[in-house]
Structures are given as structure tokens and as C-alpha cells.
Amino acid sequence: MSTRNYDPISILTDWMAESSSAVFFGGAGVSTASGIPDFRSAAGLYAAQQATGRPPEYLLSHDCLMDEPDEFFAFHRTNLVHPEAKPNRAHIALAELESSGHLAAVITQNIDGLHQAAGSKTVFELHGSVERNFCMGRAHHEFSLNEIPDEPVVPRCPDCGAIIRPDVVLYGEGLDTATVDASIEAIQHADLLIVGGTSLNVYPAAGLLQYYPGRRLALINLSATPMDSRADLVIHEPVDEILGSVSDRVRIAR
Ligand code: CNA
């Protein structure tokens, strides 16, 4: 169907209302309205950090964690841990659409835990979560975010003294196979795939979209992405506003 002459929010609302296995695939742009900067926008972390001469790809790498843990944790805590952040309209809309039976899963590159905080149940965190932490010693003790003291900067396990690291996928580390497999399964069975708030620059995560076999691929992002030409619907508006409107309209139409 040609979508050119229709209001894109109406099209997306119709698709969502008809859907029983929609999947949302998102990134950092989903949480900017919660006050968490993304990576690649002009106001994002990369522009700010590059000014200091230390590439964020290094500061968020496995090598940095092992070789310069002070640097790693200083950057991680300042820029990636946001305990004050609250879910915004995007997170809330997705949780509503799941509980009303339209949305099957959220696949996220985010590590902020805000989808779960909004009430989403099926969330595949491709890059892990700052909410979970574990000690790098043999016992692999687990710690929630609020169990990690502010000092010292490099947190250490009270039992074995090993560094307590966040359960996030750093540059130079692989994705969790079970999470990837579950994400592919959800995408393959989706009757609607919405991609939002991601530059689609980070692989292998962005490559998962190739598993979608359908004809309802909607892309919601402020800036253009490499997938725009392959999408069936492209909306260059805030993802929180669009998903909020779609969820409101689907609820009213019920
Ligand atoms: P990115 O490369 O920074 O891209 C974000 C995209 O979102 C950009 O193209 C923006 O134009 C767009 N955008 C920003 N705000 C909005 C908005 N309100 N509505 C629509 N679009 C918007 O981030 P990606 O997620 O693509 O890259 C993946 C990285 C970012 C993952 O490894 C994450 O762990 C990492 N990250 C996560 C968080 C978080 O957990 N909240 C924050 C910053 C970075």
C-alpha cells in the first residue's frame, strides 16, 4: 500500500490496532525525553566527550575497564547512570500497548531499565542494564544499582574484593546469545515492527532488523537513518510524542 497520502500517525494507529504481535526496536532516543542524553545527537555524549580528546568508544570498552578502571567508572557513573530518570510517554505507551495485547516485545539497545520501570514485561536488553551489576571474582556476586556505594569510584565486592562491574555490553564484548535469539524470534513473528529513537549505527544490534519478513516496518527517528529507504513508513518526529498519540488513539478506539 502507498502510504504517501495519509497522515502517518493514523496509518501507524491502524497498523497497531490490527496488530497482536507488534515489536518495538529502540535506542537512546527513546529516553532523551527522560533527560538521558543519547550518543550521536548534537547534544549527545559523543560530541561532549570528543571535546576532551578521549573517545567514548574507549571509555566504554572492555579494555578501559581492565586497564583504567578509574577512568571507566568515572565516565560510566557520570554519563550512563541516571537513577533520577523517570519513564516518558514512549515507555508508558509501549507498556500500555503490551498490556492491551497489541505489542509482543520491546527490544532495546538502552541500558537504563526505563521500559521495565514503565511496566513493560517482555523486554530484551541487547546491551544489558546498569540496574544489574556483578563482581568479576569467581563467585560472580550480583548487586542492584542501589547496592553500589558512591565511594570508592571503582566499586569492589565486599566478599572477595573483585571489581563490581555493570552488566552492560562494552565495546569489545559480545552480545548475550539467548537475548539475541529471543529478539530474532520476536522480530520474525512480528506483524508490525516499529523502530524508534536509534541511529541504527551500532552493530550487531541494528542488523537484527533484517529478520523482519513483513511489510509494516515503521521508523520513528528525529534524524534520517540508513534504513529510511527500506521502511514502509518514516516519521521524523519525537518518538515519545508519536507513540503516546498512537497509544491514546488505540485506547480510545477500543
Ligand atoms: P544513538 O546513536 O545516540 O542514536 C539516537 C538516535 O535517536 C539519533 O538518531 C537521534 O536523532 C534520535 N533521537 C534522539 N531523541 C529522539 C526523540 N525524542 N525522538 C526520536 N528520535 C530521537 O543511539 P542508539 O541507541 O542508536 O545507539 C546504540 C547505543 C546507545 C547503545 O549501545 C546504548 O547502550 C547507547 N545509549 C543508551 C542510553 C540509554 O540507555 N538511555 C543512552 C545513551 C546511549
> pLDDT tens digits for 15-30?
999 999 999 999 999 9
CB 226 within 8 A of CB 211: no
Contacts of 52 (CB under 8 A, 6+ apart): none
pLDDT at 158: 93
Residue 102, pLDDT above cutoff 80? yes
Handedness of CA 106, 112, 113, 118 (dihedral sign): negative
Cα–Cα distance for residue pair 200/34, rounded to 1 Å: 20
Q: What is the mean pLDDT of residues 205-229?
A: 96
39 close to ligand 1 (CB < 6 Angstrom)? yes
C-alpha 43 to ligand 1 mean position (Å): 11
Residue 215's pLDDT is: 96
- Residues 75, 38: Cα–Cα separation, whole Å: 14
As a whole number, the mean pLDDT across the chain is 93
Q: Is the pLDDT of residue 96 over 50?
A: yes
User: What tens digit of pLDDT does each residue of 31-65 get?
Assistant: 999 999 998 887 778 877 776 678 888 999 999 99
Ligand 1 atom 36: the closest Cα is on which residue? 28
Assess whether 115 carries a catalytic annotation. no
Active-site pick, 127, 140, 189, 236: 127
What does 121-160 look like in DSSP terms, one character per residue? SSEEETTEEEEEEEESSTT--EEEGGGS-SSSSS-B-TTT
Q: Which domains does the chain have, with CATH numbers?
A: 8-35+87-127+174-253 (3.40.50.1220), 45-82+134-168 (3.30.1600.10)
The pTM for the full model equals 0.95
